[in-house]
Structures are given as C-alpha cells and as structure tokens.
Amino acid sequence: MKVIFACVHNAGRSQMAAAFFNQMADLSKVTAVSAGTAPADTIHAVVLDAMKEVGIDLSNAKPQLLTDELASQAQMLVTMGCGQVCPNQPGLRQKNWSLADPKDKSPKEVASIRDEIKTKVADLLHELGALAQEI
C-alpha cells in the first residue's frame, strides 16, 4: 500500500509525516511519499532542525508536485491543509489532518507540530496493521 502525505508547499508537515511513516512502517506492507499542491523550492530550515533533533535527516528531501498521476499510484491520501486543491481520486482513501503550518514558527512550536505528526503517523500505522517500530 502506498500512502501520500500532502500539504501546500511540501516543505514541512507532509515531509515530516512521510519520514516518520517510512521510519516506523513495515515497508513490506506500506510505504509513503510526500507532495504538495504548490511545492516550495526547499524544506523549511526549522523543519530540518526539528527532524534532526529526533535523528531524521531530511537534508536530501526535495518538495515535489502532487499530481493526478502520483495520486493514482497510491491507495491513501492524507492531506494537511491543501483543502480543495488536493486531487480527488476515485477509490483513493482520504484522511485530513488539521495541523498548524510550521512555516515562520519558532523551533519550540515546530517541535510540537512534529510530535503531533509523529503520534498521528503511529496511530495510522496501527490502524493499517503496519507498525514495525515506534521511534
């Protein structure tokens, strides 16, 4: 099963979610990618720092566009603020997580968003029966 985590700029929330998902998941059952409806050029520096604090290096991650083609390759789409501009694929299971955008937030606020994302990802993996390890 492939899960797409999507937000507007693919520079924060969705990147953190996909990274946590792929770290904690049984990759023989599920995998995740992240994308955005209007991708930024780079990941937010404060997000890079927040993820480094928990041992995840996103320095090589690149924001990418959420296309209909990418969505058609997935079985689930988890949106985080892209609203009506996220693609609606028939048969694609969808969830919406209401999460604050880490852009222009303090390191403490971003750490809180990161921890909330981690909890939501672990819960999703439990729901999917694909949690390999909790980090």
For the stretch 97-122, what's the b/e string if a residue is b when 16 or more beta carbons lie within 10 angstroms of its beta carbon?
bebebbeebeeeebbebbeebbebbb
Residue 45's contacts (CB-CB under 8 Å, 6 or more residues apart) are none
Q: What is the pLDDT of residue 89?
A: 66
pLDDT digits (tens, 9 = 90+) for 86-118: 666 667 899 999 999 999 999 999 999 999 999
Q: What is the pLDDT of residue 123?
A: 97
pLDDT digits (tens, 9 = 90+) for 35-85: 998 999 999 999 999 999 999 999 999 999 998 889 889 999 999 977 666
Q: What is the pLDDT of residue 72?
A: 87
Give CATH for domain 2-128.
Answer: 3.40.50.2300
- Residue 95 φ/ψ, nearest 5 degrees: -135, 150
- The enclosing H or E element of 98 equals none
Q: What is the pLDDT of residue 124?
A: 98
Tell whether pTM > 0.85: yes
Q: Domain limits of the chain?
A: 2-128
